[in-house]
Copies of this chain bind each other. A is one copy, B any other.
Amino acid sequence: MKETIDRLRSQGGRLTVQRRLILDILESFSGHPTAEEIYAVAKQKYPKLHLSTVYRTIRWLEQEGRLSARRFEEDNRQERFDYTPSEHHHFQCSICKDVIEFESPLMNEVKKDFEDQKDVLVETASLILYGTCKRCRQLFQQEETPYTGK
């Protein structure tokens, strides 16, 4: 956090109350909030905050490489923001819409494989797996076997 602030400041950015607040929220938020979600939380602590400031802060962080935008299947109208620094991937359950983050060493093989095949340079990878999570699968199986009372 301190590190992020220092780095951003050295880039010429100014550390306003609003930005500090939004950074705090991103830091503590588990999952991938939308701009509106960040705004809703931030507004409680700083009521005169405007949604456009949230967007501007997000775009600033994005440019600095501190955050990335994603769209999941669900409600793909709104962007969701991912503040996690290291490369990772996502799984989204098509039923409950929950997202699981994961790392995959195998993905490096996939990248290398493609690089060799097409003579390109791969810098980043964005992978989203879709399927059914453990809980939803179990619930679904129960429904599939209707209760007969016998």
Contacts and interface: CB of A to CB of B under 8 A. Distances in A.
Interface stretch (A25-33, A53-61, A106-114): A106-114
Contact of A122 (B104, B110, B123, B131): B131
A118 B106 contact: no
Interface in A84-138: 91, 93-94, 100, 102, 104, 106-107, 109-111, 113-115, 117-134, 137
Chain A, interface size category, equals 35 or more
Contact of A133 (B79, B120, B127, B132): B120
Interface of A: 69, 71, 76, 79, 91, 93-94, 100, 102, 104, 106-107, 109-111, 113-115, 117-134, 137
